[in-house]
Amino acid sequence: MFTLGEIHEHLLINGIDKSYTHWIFHGESLAKSNEKPSSSTFDDQSDDEYPRMEELVNDAFRNIGEHADTLMDDLRNENCHEDLDAERYKALFDDARQSLYPSCPRELIKLSVTVELYSLKARNGWSDNSFNDLLQLVKKLLPVENTLPVSTYQAKKMINSLGMTYETIHACPNDCIIYWKEYKDRQNCPTCHTSRWRSDYLAKKKGVRVPSKVLRYFPLAPRLQRLYSVPWIAEQMTWHSQPKEYSGVMRHPSDSSSWMVINNKWPSFAEEFRNVRLGLATDGFNPFGHLSSAYSCWPVIIVPYNLPPSMCMKREFSMLTVLIPGPKGPSKDIDVYLQPLIDELKNLWLNGVTTYDSHLKTIFNLKAILMWGIHDFPAYGSLSGCVTHAQYACPVCAEGTVAERLKSGKKYSYQGHRRFLPINHVFRTQKAAFNNKVEEGRPSHRLSGSEVEAKVIGIQMDIGKSKGKKRKSYGDDSTGNITAWYKRSILFDLPYWKELPVRHNLDVMHVVKNVGDHLLSTILEVKDKTKDDISACEDLKKMNIMKDLWLKEADGKTIKPKAPFTLSCKEK
C-alpha cells in the first residue's frame, strides 16, 4: 500500500496511463471531461487565487516536454514556417527535452515552490536577509534530499530559467543618454560630461564602481511568446477574430475604427490572427509611499489587446517593459529611455519572432503593432512632443488654439469652444452669456500622423537636465515660426505610427477628478479652493463681460457679489 503523498509523487513522475482515455466510465460527463478554462472562469477568480504562478509554470514546462516530439516531426516534414532554421530548433528542443523533460516533475516542484515563495517576498516587501532566513527554515522542514535554494541569489538564478530576466542599462543622471549601443563603452556623458559612475559615500563603501542611474528593461518578445506557451491562454489570444455581435458600442479595442484601419492598411498582418496588438501606458509614481518624498519613478506598461475584455486588463497580462528610475521624472527626455522598447517594437513589426502555439500545436512568425498610448495630460505632452500648457495647450487645435492670458488670474482662458458647435446652434449668437461676441469660427483641422511628422521633422530639442540649462517650451519650424510641438517623438520611428488614426488617448481619471474638485469647490464656495475669487472678478471687468459679477464698492469696502450658481445658507 502507498500513502497519498507517494501516489501523488508517482503520478507526477510517471504520469497516468496514456492508453486510458475513457473518463466517462467513472461517472464523469463527457462535457465535463472536455472542459477547458475560459475567460469567465478566469474572471470569477480573485487576483490572489487564479491564475496561480505555479499553474503557469506547470503549463510552460509541461508543453516543452509534451510537444517536443510533435515539433520535431513538423521540422522533419518541413511543415513549419519557411524561415525557420531547422538545425537550430532541433538543437533547441533536444536541449529542452534532455535538461527539462526527463526530470521535469521533481524540477517542476522545486521551481514552483521557489516561484511561490519569491512572489510572497515581492508582495510583502521582504528584505533579502529575511527571505534567506525563510528559505533556510523551509529547507529544514522538507526531506533531507530536497534541493530548495538556500539564498535569494540562488532563488533568482533558478527563476531566471523561466526567461523572466531583465536588462540593466546605465543612464546619465541628467537624462542625456543611456549607455547603450554606440555609447555602451563610454565613461562620461558626451552631452553634459557627467561621469557614468557615482563618487559618493555609497560607492566608496561598496568598494566597486556604482552607476549613477540604472534603467531596467524587460524584453517584450519572450513574454509575448510565453502567452502562446499556455494552451488556454493561446486559445484566448485569438478571441478577437471570432464572430461577435456588434451592438454599436465599443466594448473592446477590436470594436474601434483603429482596429479596422489596421486590418485595411496591412492585410497581411491582419490575416495572421495570432499577431498581437498592443497598448502603451506610462505615468510617474512615488515608490516609497511618502507624500513628503519628491521621488518620481516611471514604469512603462504594455497591454495585449488580443485577449477578451475580462482578461486583457487583468494584472497578470499587464507587462512592465521599462522602469525609469528617479528621483526626477524623465519629462521631455522620456524618449531617451524608450529606445530599447522602440527598437524591439520595430523588430516585432518588420521581422517578428518565431513562436510555438501550444493550442494549435504549430509554429508561426509572431508580429506585433503598437496601436496607441494611454496617458494623463502631462505624460501626453512628454510622449507626443506636443505642448500641453499655456497658449497652445490643446493637442487637437495646436497653433489654432483660441487662448487669452488673464492679467489678474495669471492664467490662460480658452473661450473658443463654441466654434465646435453646429453652424446654426443658438449658443453661437448668445453674446451676453459668453464673451460679448458672436462666434463665427470653424473647428480646427485635425492633423493626421503624416501632417504632424512633417511639422516636427526639423525641430531640434536640447536633451538633458543639466544645471542652469533652460530649454525652450515651444519648437521652431524651418521658417522660424513658433509651433505647438517642441520635439519629434521617438514613436515616429515606428514605421506604421504616422498611419494610425488615433495615436494617443487621455486617461480621464485626473481630468474628471480635477474638474470635479474645481466645480464642487466653486459651487460650494470653499475657501482657498473656489475659482470664483477676487482675481476672477477683476478679469471679468477687464474683459468687459458679466457686469453683475464685477467687484462693488460700498462704505469703503470691496464686496464680491455671489454668483448665481453658488450654493450658500439662506440669509435670515
Supply the DSSP string of 424-491, one letter for each residue. T-GGGG--TTTTSS-----PPPPPPHHHHHHHHTT-----S--TT----SSEE-TTS-EESB-S--GG
C-alpha cell at 409: 488670474
Pairing between β-strand 298-304 and β-strand 276-282 as defined by DSSP bridges: antiparallel
Q: What's the pLDDT at 189? A: 92
What are 280's strand-pairing partners?
A: 302, 373
CB neighbour list of residue 551: distance below 8 Å, 6 or more residues apart: 534, 537, 538, 541, 558, 559, 560, 561
CB atoms within 10 A of CB 337: 25
Q: What's the pLDDT at 27? A: 45
Mean pLDDT by runs of 10 across the 572 residues of the chain is 73 65 46 42 42 52 50 50 50 46 52 80 86 88 80 84 82 93 92 87 68 93 90 91 80 90 94 94 82 81 93 89 90 93 96 91 94 91 88 85 88 87 91 87 87 85 75 64 85 94 88 88 87 88 88 84 77 50
Q: CA 6, 8, 9, 13 torsion: positive or negative?
A: positive
Please name which of 494, 401, 490, 383 lies closest in space to residue 443, comparing C-alpha atoms. 401
CB neighbour list of residue 499: distance below 8 Å, 6 or more residues apart: 261, 265, 449, 450
The beta-carbon contacts of 283-291 under 8 Å, at least 24 apart in sequence, are 283/375, 283/376, 283/379, 283/507, 284/329, 284/379
C-alpha cell at 211: 552607476
Q: What is the pTM of this model?
A: 0.76
What are the backbone dihedrals phi and psi of residue 563, each rounded to the nearest 5 degrees, phi first? -75, 150
Q: What's the pLDDT at 569? A: 64
